């Protein structure tokens, strides 16, 4: 049996011209496409004959769409699950790949342009200008938030973490003690 593959592709923040080249070429070469309701209509129109699922993916519909993707991949098809924005940020991209992997189906996430960077570019907001750190906090219904900090290579992460978590906190193995976080050092 020849397995296909599932690609969870970020469509970008609503402007159809902001899909990545890799995402665009995967979309065009796919055998089947599952598209969320917030994906730009112009992208869906390009592959209308390949679209097998197009609607708002509530929890139940999401499970149904993933089952469809897995079934098609097991039939040897290349399936693109087209999500708005970036499938890593709130997009359930990891959940889709985890389920596919449990079923023995290869799955890959292809990142998309996030609304954060697209909005900053559109409105000319210089994120991280002058070496200032960037902090992203994700909201969750329970537990501590995830924290991602981008900072210059020679940044004083201890000071940043103290600002975030209070005096005395330091980064241990890439995260503040007791809190989930990822700290990226950016080479200038």
Q: What 3-state class would DSSP assign to 123?
A: coil
Residue stretches of the chain with pLDDT short of 70: 1, 90-91, 128-188
Query: Using CB atoms within 10 A of its CB, is residue 65 exposed (0-12), middle (13-18) or buried (19+)?
Result: buried
| Confidence at residue 131, expressed as pLDDT on a 0 to 100 scale | 63
| Confidence at residue 146, expressed as pLDDT on a 0 to 100 scale | 55
- Supply 85's token pair: 């924005």
| Confidence at residue 145, expressed as pLDDT on a 0 to 100 scale | 53
| Confidence at residue 55, expressed as pLDDT on a 0 to 100 scale | 80
* Residues whose CB falls within 8 Å of the CB of residue 1, separated by 6 or more in sequence, listed in order: 74, 76
In whole angstroms, what is the distance from residue 42 CA to residue 26 CA?
16
Cβ–Cβ < 8 Å for 112, 9: yes
């Amino acid at each position: 049996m020849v397995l296909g593959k599932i690609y969870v592709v970020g469509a970008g923040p609503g402007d159809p011209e902001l899909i990545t080249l890799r995402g665009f070429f995967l979309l065009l070469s796919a055998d089947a496409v599952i598209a969320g309701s917030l994906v730009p209509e112009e992208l869906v129109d390009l592959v209308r004959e390949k679209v097998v699922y197009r609607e708002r993916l509530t929890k139940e519909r999401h499970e149904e769409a993933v089952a469809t993707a897995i079934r098609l991949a097991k039939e040897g098809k290349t399936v693109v699950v087209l999500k708005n924005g970036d499938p890593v940020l709130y997009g359930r991209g990891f959940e889709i790949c985890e389920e596919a992997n449990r079923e023995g189906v290869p799955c890959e996430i292809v990142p998309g342009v996030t609304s954060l960077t697209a909005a900053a570019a559109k409105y000319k907001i210089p994120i991280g200008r002058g070496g200032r750190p960037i902090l992203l906090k994700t909201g969750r219904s329970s537990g501590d938030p995830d924290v991602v900090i981008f900072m210059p290579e020679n940044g004083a992460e201890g000071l940043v973490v103290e600002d975030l978590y209070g005096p005395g906190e330091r980064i241990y193995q890439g995260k503040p003690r007791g809190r989930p976080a990822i700290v990226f050092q950016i080479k200038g």
